[in-house]
């Protein structure tokens, strides 16, 4: 590569790392994955079922093993990264949680829970031209949390273009594979999503986000208590005293 472009080996290595890869081996794997035909969802599900059959375990047992691996992956995350992210969430004017497809439901759940804790949050789940309406809602001092895996969808690239232009803080929660949908996030957390070429699982992502909710609560417990008390008062006003809220 260095000879082809007339530069040094060291420059190639620095460029590879600048692109978000740990080294040339990671780049090779990413290129191999790009060149390999992408499996359909039905093919991925068939792989899961065949793997469970070959191992002699039930489908449920095979999946619980993947969940344990995802939790081990979360345990390996540097606690300082979680502390940094939790503090950034608390300091943001507004938090935008991006996710499309099945991840959109998780993005909505995380945003709703942040609101319950007294933070201003919303989910960004639209696609295509409608995603422009989500993008124009970003403002100075906001923060973006993106749930995105493997492929650089146009919405992901457009999101980080906007984040970069506005100089917003951002976090990317992605898979443990060699492909990263965008390398411009301030912090990138990797969560296992199941076996390679298997069906994508989201339990690990959900566990990480719920851990973040607890970390956010620990930063300012008095504000969180007030927000939850206000929520309970509003629920009581709707239900009366009959439900004992």
Q: Looking at residue 135, what is its pLDDT? A: 97
Rounded distance, CA 243 to CA 201, Å? Answer: 36
Q: Does domain 63-231 have CATH number 3.40.50.10490?
A: yes
Q: What's the rounded mean pLDDT across residues 28-44?
A: 58
Strand partners, 171: 145, 187
Q: Looking at residue 21, what is its pLDDT? A: 73
- Is residue 30 a contact partner of residue 179, using CB atoms and an 8 Å limit? yes
Rounded distance, CA 196 to CA 204, Å? Answer: 15
Which residues, other chains included, contact 41 with Cβ-Cβ below 8 Å and sequence gap of 6+? 199
pTM of structure: 0.73
Mean pLDDT score of the chain, rounded to an integer? 84
Rounded distance, CA 157 to CA 76, Å? Answer: 28
Q: How confident is the model at residue 74 (pLDDT cuts 50, 70, 90)?
A: confident
Q: Where are the domains of the chain?
A: 63-231
Q: Looking at residue 199, what is its pLDDT? A: 46
Q: Which of 42-56, 75-89, 99-113 has the lowest mean pLDDT?
A: 42-56
Q: Which of 27-31, 34-38, 213-217 has the lowest mean pLDDT?
A: 34-38
- Is residue 14 a contact partner of residue 1, using CB atoms and an 8 Å limit? no
Query: Nearest Cα to 145, choosing from 109, 194, 195, 196?
Result: 109
- Is residue 24 a contact partner of residue 13, using CB atoms and an 8 Å limit? yes
pLDDT in tens, 165-194: 999 999 999 988 777 899 999 999 988 764
Query: Nearest Cα to 207, choosing from 109, 95, 123?
Result: 109
- Is residue 176 a contact partner of residue 196, using CB atoms and an 8 Å limit? no
Q: What's the rounded mean pLDDT across residues 27-31?
A: 69
Q: What's the rounded mean pLDDT across residues 133-160?
A: 93
> Could you count the other beta carbons within 10 Å of the beta carbon of residue 73?
19
Q: Above 90 in pLDDT, residue 155?
A: yes
Which residues, other chains included, contact 77 with Cβ-Cβ below 8 Å and sequence gap of 6+? 189, 190, 208
């Amino acid at each position: 590569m260095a000879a082809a472009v007339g530069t040094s080996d060291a420059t190639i290595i620095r460029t590879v790392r600048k692109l978000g890869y740990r080294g040339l081996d990671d780049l090779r794997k990413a290129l191999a994955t790009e060149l390999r035909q992408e499996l359909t969802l039905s093919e991925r599900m068939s792989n899961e079922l065949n793997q469970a059959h070959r191992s002699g375990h039930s489908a449920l047992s095979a999946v619980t093993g993947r969940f344990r691996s995802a939790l081990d992956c979360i345990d390996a995350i540097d606690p300082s990264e979680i502390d940094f992210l939790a503090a950034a969430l608390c300091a943001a004017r507004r938090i935008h949680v991006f996710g499309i497809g099945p991840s959109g439901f998780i993005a909505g759940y995380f945003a709703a829970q942040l609101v319950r804790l007294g933070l201003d949050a919303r989910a960004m789940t639209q696609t295509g031209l409608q995603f422009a309406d989500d993008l124009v809602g970003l403002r100075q001092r906001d923060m973006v949390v993106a749930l995105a895996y493997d492929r650089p969808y146009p919405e992901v690239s457009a999101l980080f273009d906007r984040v970069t232009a506005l100089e917003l803080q951002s976090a990317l929660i992605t898979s443990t594979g060699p492909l990263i949908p965008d390398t411009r996030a301030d912090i990138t957390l990797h969560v296992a999503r199941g076996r390679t070429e298997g069906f994508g699982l989201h339990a690990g992502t959900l566990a990480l986000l719920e851990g973040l909710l607890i970390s956010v609560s620990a930063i300012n417990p008095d504000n969180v208590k007030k927000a939850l008390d206000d929520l309970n008062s509003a629920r009581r006003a709707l239900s009366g005293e009959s439900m004992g809220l």
